[in-house]
Amino acid sequence: MLGLNIFRLIGSFFEFILQPFKWLRLEVAKGDLGWWTSNAVNWLFVLVLIVLFAYWMWQSATFLKEGTEDKA
C-alpha cells in the first residue's frame, strides 16, 4: 500500500506542477495567436540553448587561445 501511495503522490505533484501547460493547451491555444502562444515555452528553451551554446563556444575559444585546453 505504501508503494501505491508514493506513486499517487508523484502523480499529484506533477499534475500540480504542469497546470500552466494544461491552461495553455485548453484556453490560450484557441485564440488567433494560438500556435505562437502555445509554443512560447519551446521558443524560450531554444533561445536559452542558443545562448548557452554561444557561451560554451566563447569559453572554448578562450581556452584554445590560452593553450589550456584539455586535449586528452
This prediction's pTM: 0.57
Q: How far apart are CA 10 and CA 13, in angstroms?
A: 5
Vertex 27, ends 21 and 29: CA angle to 5°?
80
Residues 35-66 have pLDDT tens digits of: 777 788 889 999 999 999 999 999 999 988 88
Residues 8-37 have pLDDT tens digits of: 999 999 999 999 888 877 777 677 777 777
Residue 65 neighbours by CB under 8 Å, 6+ apart:
none
Residue ranges covered by each domain of the chain: 2-66
